[in-house]
Amino acid sequence: MIISHCYLLSILMHSVSATSVRASTKSVAINVNAQNVTAPFTHIARFFGADEPNYAYFPQGKSLLSDLGNLGPAQTYFRTHNLLTTGDGIPGLKWGSTNAYTEDENGNPVYNFTIIDRIFESYIENNVKPYAQIGFMPEALSTHPHPYSFNFTPSSPYNNIYTGWSYPPTSYQKWAELVYQWVTHCVEKYGTEEVNSWYWEVWNEPNIPYWNGTTQEFYMLYDYAIASVKRALPSARIGGFEVAGGPAGTYLGDFLNHVLNENSYATGKKGSPLDFVSFHAKGAPNFINTTDGNGYVQMGIAAQLQNIDDAFSVIASYPQIRDKPIIISECDPDGCAACITPQYGYRNGLLYPSFTAASFVRALDLSVKHGVNVQGALTWAFEYDNFPYFDGFRVLSTNEIVKPVLNFHRMIGKMGGNRVEAISSGQVDLGTAVTSGIRDAADVGVLSSLDGDRLSVFVWHYHDNDLPMPDADIKIEIKGLPWNGESELAHYRVDDDHSNSYALWLKQGSPENPSPEQYAALKAAGDLATMGAPSKISITGGNATISFKLPIRALSLLVIEKICQ
């Protein structure tokens, strides 16, 4: 169904009479004050990542990288595991390799950065930059090299992955030299200025079995790697610590204390440089059985927000680093992109983008609450070449069909300038969302930005439960616009009928081999769509009023722009 004039421009129609509101809707008042700048607009939703590095140079991977590099003016970054893993470069689920480090028969290092270059070149040629992860342990350096590779399936026990790559090195000197050679190679190949614009970090989630060594051994691994990066490029941007589960008890705080106050294992001097702080935050979805036998997914946004709240609180307690950029370098609804279970049934449709909106904007609000400096929330999802359509993995596209979730990133990518005050009567307050999630009333939240003569108002409608719920009847009153007169209003939308390739695929009968016509339609449905053509709106006294209905789990982005005469 294509709706052409779905929103009312009610400049002269200020009140929606009570009788005209259908019983099945709930009224929400949103007030935007474009004069009240609250903060620079932070483009946090421009970081992505995946366990599997090698798909980056596969055809569908390159196509998706091109989408990611085109989200808007802000720079996109990509983080991946397995950049130093030994193997032939053939990807598998949760697996990948580059063979960057081997040893000859005399135990001398042999470096080969061919496959890493292929990966990074795929990023760079698509306007994406590395958030480069130094890991995992090459087979020739692992203290327990066998078994090394593994075969993961969507229903494998997660622990199957912890093989030889997860162990400490046989020699920290060789480890340090490998890192030095790699960074030096990057500087020679891409230039100082380019490499200065990347992020460098060490390993992944060292507080869980991704690291099969002691905490002190991990500090040693980290200190040697960081010292090597700085030896190769003193201006490189380095940080960490990629901790699983927010602060993970005392892990994040202990690590900060080590880096700030203890002697570096590598240099023997007090402290290590630290340019940004990173940790991971994951939600906890459930599948709720119902007596009719259908059941539904119940998202767990509170778990993710608690990770963020707790980690920000630890970081804020260290005055020396309180202002450092923070990257929530995996910020997802659940913990396993390559696993498929009933509770992960949120990934194809509207629940994923609406969850991401509700949680990412709260990451910004939690940053304000703690007086810290969040710069990124990383979506750990990419794509797998040659898998079925809409197979249930946490991916952004399927057979080059973009899934609805990426249209959240496209919407946010259009915003910019400064964040301005925006208050929604339907937004669940931050404290409630952190402690109990969005389990009672649905959440109609707002984020607004002003960039010159361009105002953006982003609105989402979210609930943890994937159940039918009333539309929100939204009235946005805007004041304080720095211009008057005739303007253009574009209304971008993600819902059942817009920007939703999955809904179309279901209507087509879920074809596993779509016809060329079906495929072309799916591809087009993956694009970010508007509700009809842009319309005219008149700004008087810096004011405007806009009303529209927003279904549950839908997203709207209103962009009002001065028309240049």
Ligand X SMILES: *[C@@H]1O[C@H](CO)[C@@H](O)[C@H](O)[C@H]1NC(C)=O
CA distance 144 to 166: 9
Instruction: Report the residue from 38, 63, 267, 535 that binds ligand X according to the rule CB under 6 A.
Output: 38
CA distance 387 to 413: 28
Which CB sits closer to ligand X, 166 or 399? Answer: 166
Stretch in the footprint of ligand X (CB under 6 A) among 217-225, 327-335, 452-460, 535-543: 535-543
Note the maximum CA span of the chain.
Answer: 85
- Give the N- to C-terminal CA distance of the chain in Å, as an integer: 35
- Interaction of residue 508 with ligand X, rule CB under 6 A: no
Which CB sits closer to ligand X, 271 or 342? Answer: 342
In the complex, the smallest distance separating the C-beta of residue 342 from ligand X, rounded to whole angstroms, is: 7
Which CB sits closer to ligand X, 377 or 539? Answer: 539
Which string of x and - marks every residue 141-160 that binds ligand X (by CB under 6 A)?
A: ---x--------------x-
Q: Which residue is nearest to ligand X (CB)?
A: 541
Q: Measuring CA to CA, how many Å separate 59 from each of 62, 66, 200, 383, 526?
A: 5, 11, 26, 11, 18
In the complex, the smallest distance separating the C-beta of residue 487 from ligand X, rounded to whole angstroms, is: 15
Nearest to 338 by CA among 161, 559, 136: 161
Which CB sits closer to ligand X, 89 or 345? Answer: 89
Q: How buried is 523 (Cβ within 10 angstroms: 0-12 exposed, 13-18 middle, 19+ buried)?
A: middle
Which CB sits closer to ligand X, 436 or 540? Answer: 540
- Interaction of residue 540 with ligand X, rule CB under 6 A: yes
Q: How far is CA 464 from the centre of its chain?
A: 19
In the complex, the smallest distance separating the C-beta of residue 404 from ligand X, rounded to whole angstroms, is: 26
Count Cβ atoms below 10 Å from residue 532 Cβ, excluding itself: 15
In the complex, the smallest distance separating the C-beta of residue 2 from ligand X, rounded to whole angstroms, is: 34
Which residue reads 């060594």 in tokens?
Answer: 213
Q: Is the dihedral of CA 406, 407, 410, 416 positive or negative?
A: negative
In the complex, the smallest distance separating the C-beta of residue 375 from ligand X, rounded to whole angstroms, is: 21
In the complex, the smallest distance separating the C-beta of residue 392 from ligand X, rounded to whole angstroms, is: 16
Instruction: Report the residue from 154, 479, 523, 535 that binds ligand X according to the rule CB under 6 A.
Output: 479
- Interaction of residue 547 with ligand X, rule CB under 6 A: no
Which CB sits closer to ligand X, 157 or 516? Answer: 157
Any catalytic annotation for residue 205?
yes
- Interaction of residue 436 with ligand X, rule CB under 6 A: no
- Interaction of residue 367 with ligand X, rule CB under 6 A: no
Which string of x and - marks every residue 85-124 that binds ligand X (by CB under 6 A)?
A: ----x---------x------------x-xx---------
Q: Which helix (H) or strand (E) holds 51?
A: none
- Interaction of residue 543 with ligand X, rule CB under 6 A: yes
Which CB sits closer to ligand X, 319 or 541? Answer: 541
- Interaction of residue 289 with ligand X, rule CB under 6 A: yes
Rg (CA), the chain: 24
Strand partners, 479: 33
Which residue reads 């910004």 in tokens?
Answer: 364
Which CB sits closer to ligand X, 295 or 470? Answer: 295
Residues 6+ apart with CB under 8 A from 18: none
Angle, helices 301-316 vs 351-370, to 10°: value is 20
Please provide the size of the chain in residues. 565
Q: Which of 201, 205, 330, 561 is catalytic?
A: 205
Which residue reads 């694009």 in tokens?
Answer: 527
Q: Are 378 and 79 in contact (CB under 8 A)?
A: yes
Query: Residue count at the site for ligand X (CB under 6 A)?
Result: 19
Q: Measuring CA to CA, how many Å separate 21 from each of 24, 140, 476?
A: 8, 69, 16
Return the residues of window 174-213 that contact ligand X according to CB under 6 A: 209, 212
In the complex, the smallest distance separating the C-beta of residue 47 from ligand X, rounded to whole angstroms, is: 26
DSSP conformation class of 515: -
- Interaction of residue 421 with ligand X, rule CB under 6 A: yes
Strand partners, 423: 31
- Interaction of residue 341 with ligand X, rule CB under 6 A: no
Strand partners, 219: none
In the complex, the smallest distance separating the C-beta of residue 336 from ligand X, rounded to whole angstroms, is: 16
Among all residues, which ones are annotated catalytic?
A: 205
| Residues near ligand X, by CB under 6 A | 36, 38, 89, 99, 112, 114-115, 144, 159, 162, 209, 212, 289, 421, 477, 479, 540-541, 543
